[in-house]
Amino acid sequence: MTDPGPRLDRLPVGRFHRRIIWLIGAGMFFDSFDVYLAAGVLGALVHSGWSTLGHNATFVSITSVGMLLGALAAGYLGDVKGRKFSYQFNLAIFGLASLAGAVAPSMEWLIVCRFFMGLGLGAEIVIGYGCLGEFVPPQVRGKWSAYLSLIANSALFFSTLLGFLIIPHLGWRVMFVIVGVGAFVIWFRRRAMPESPRWLKSQGRDAEAEAVMAGIEREFAPAQLPDPPDPAAVDDRPARKLGSVDLFKPPYLRRTAIAVCVHVVLNIVIYGFVVWVPTFLVGQGLGVSSSLGYSALMSLGGPAGALIAALISDRVGRRYGILVFSLLAAVTGWAYLSSPNIYLATFLGFIMFTLVYLLVAFGIATHVPELFPTDVRLRGNGVANTTGRIAAIAAPPIVVGLYGAGGIDAVMALIIGALLVLAVAMLLIGIETRNRTLEEIDAL
């Protein structure tokens, strides 16, 4: 059969691609919504006496454990069973677990439900970013991946807003109902989402890949379709069989190292600085209300970073984009320490948030999934995501120790050091993937 990769890459961006990004993005939105609702829900549980600080800590920890295991399992299932199967499977898991959490009779049962929510939540991120790039042409892959990051990260605002409006009046259980119902609406809508023709081809399922590819092409007007492929483009090679172990052997070991570095560094920055900003501001003498207000202003850098990435990622390139923005974030972090007043600190904090989430869009959303061949793309993404989750779990206690020993200066030294490590890694072993097809990247 004709290789589906070139056929997908030559299609003009249109309604089909918009439907794919919204079907994937909607699932990732409710995934992030479920993660972020914990802040409002846990506060309400303690206030009502239904939970304790100890139970809340277990709730947070079990979420991280579930997400870690879910990310690892999703990579394997996505490569072995298919993108569509894994996507629907994990969406059903966190949808069902969320509805079960809404009727949990005790905090202990809610914690059990949260573990299963975490399994689905960790899987959604791995599959979503990895799957989108298999449908989108290389000329806009960076932009569309950044848009997907924007959709996912916008859930923080909506989760916070709805928590503020709903929890005091209708209770915390409604928040889990919203997630569960939303997940199943998306599950129903995503039944018509096609399997990745690239994945089908990689599994030797040529007839199915051709049928799916033909169905995609029928969504375009005949005048929009590219010229018939050259007969030389017909790919009759037997399907290649790569396994998880290949990720840790040349030539893919280098790519795995890049992906792990991106995830570990960005999780250290997010869970070592971004989530601690309100605490740092209180420690510097601000009241709780004021610290939350200034933190909210800084957090606007999240969507700003994703939007900037959508505009420039396909022009700047991944390797040197990540390198340069890591250096800029390190310099901004150093300047943040030297801020003479809260107004400059807020401005620099906004710049820092913007650069961090710009790096998330460049690195986690776009670059890591495109580094790996189709056979092991989700496993590579899952391994990198899992190591990032481990860093996210380890970062808070490390920050507490550093803050106690040397204050915010010691914490920022860790953040700046991590960003410099990422910049050096991209300089020494980075791979440029901008405007290259996934097949060209694999052949580098």
83 contacts: CB under 8 Å, gap ≥ 6: 127, 130, 131, 134, 195, 196, 199, 378
**Average pLDDT, integer, range 312-333:** 94
- At residue 287 the predicted structure's pLDDT band, cuts being 50, 70 and 90, is low
At residue 284, the pLDDT reads 59
Residue 358 lies in a domain: yes
Could you tell me if 373 and 274 lie in one domain? yes
pLDDT higher at 230 or 368:
368
The domain spanning residue 306 has which CATH number? Answer: 1.20.1250.20
Domain termination residue (choose one: 199, 229, 264): 199
Are 120 and 90 in contact by the 8 Å Cβ rule? The answer is yes
**Same domain (yes/no): 159, 293:** no
Any domain includes 439: yes
Do 391 and 252 share a structural domain?
yes
* 175/311 same-domain check: no
Residue type, 396: P
**Residue 21 is inside which H or E element, if any?**
helix 15-36
Q: Would 237 be classed as within a structural domain?
A: no
Cα distance between residue 369 and residue 363, in whole Å: 9
Same domain? For 410 and 285 the reply is yes
Q: Is 228 inside a domain boundary?
A: no
DSSP for 47-86 reads HHTS--HHHHHHHHHHHHHHHHHHHHHHHHHHHHT-HHHH
Q: Whole-model pTM?
A: 0.89
Q: What is the pLDDT of residue 1?
A: 60
pLDDT tier, 133 (very low <50, low <70, confident <90, very high otherwise): very high
Q: Look up the domain containing 371 and give its range.
A: 244-443
Please indicate whether residue 290 or residue 299 has the higher confidence score (pLDDT): 299
- pLDDT at residue 348 above 60? yes
Q: How far apart are CA 102 and CA 166, in angstroms?
A: 14
Half-sphere exposure of 18 (CA within 13 A, CB side): 6
pLDDT, greater one: 381 or 191: 381
Q: Do 291 and 416 fall within a single domain?
A: yes
**Average pLDDT in the 158-168 region?**
82
Tell me the per-residue pLDDT of 34-82, one tens digit each, with 9 for 90 and over: 887 877 788 788 878 888 878 888 888 888 889 899 988 888 999 999 9
- Mean pLDDT (the chain, rounded): 87
* Mean pLDDT calculated for residue range 156-177: 85
Q: How many domains does the chain have?
A: 2
Is there a domain that residue 303 lies in?
A: yes
Distance CA 279, CA 282 (A): 5
What was the pLDDT predicted at 199?
Answer: 94
| Residue 327, amino acid | L
Domain check: are 162 and 264 in the same one?
no
The 10s digit of each residue's pLDDT in 356-409 is 999 999 999 999 999 999 999 999 999 999 999 999 888 888 888 888 898 888
